[in-house]
Amino acid sequence: MNVSARYAALVADTNSTHALVNVRLLDQEGGERLPAIVELRTADGTVLASGQTRSGTADLNDMPGFAVPENTASVIVRFARNGEAREKTVPCAVCMKSHTLDFAWNELTPVDPAVLAAETWLRKTGGRARRATGREFFTRCSQPNDCNGLGCGGEVASLNRH
């Protein structure tokens, strides 16, 4: 199916103060595309946007696009697949030069499962921190598959109260 007309009809926003970047995930440099959840994050970890990468025979132009805020020094691009998350910090100068960024899964830095568990806990509590009572303890995660695609896989503890 010819989808060229769909892309030709898109009009660029010339008033935008953001760099637009498309993202693809490959198994290795020059390799096959992989499906994954992808997040664009600030340097402090705040999620700016998320999407889904495509694989196989999907239209090669079908990839998530993200707006990188103006005056941002760098962003973190995080991918999650098969219960594992990996990421890379990208200087925004690279985003300004290229409209499509290809990432190789085997070259990305694995995200510490403890970080994923803490982020999941914060999402579930709405980011509301509670004061420690001294009676908290950590155990293996009781719901390793319930981590919004960024699962801890049960490897890391979740916060429990006694």
Could you give the domains of the chain? 4-110 (2.60.40.10), 113-161 (no CATH)
**Cα-based distances in Å from 29 to 32, 33, 128:** 9, 10, 40
Confidence check: pLDDT of 157 > 70: no
Beta bridge partners of 16: none
Residues 118-152 have pLDDT tens digits of: 888 887 877 565 555 544 444 445 554 554 444 44
Average pLDDT over residues 4-27: 64
Res 15: pLDDT: 47
Q: Categorize the per-residue pLDDT at 34 as very low, low, confident or very high, splitting at 50, 70 and 90.
A: very high
Q: Give the separation between CA 127 and CA 120, rounded to whole angstroms.
A: 10
Give yes or no for a contact between 79 and 108, defined as CB atoms under 8 angstroms apart.
yes
What dihedral do alpha carbons 104, 110, 111, 113 form, nearest 10°?
A: 140
Greater model confidence, 108 or 129? 108
The structure tokens listed for 103 are: 């990432």
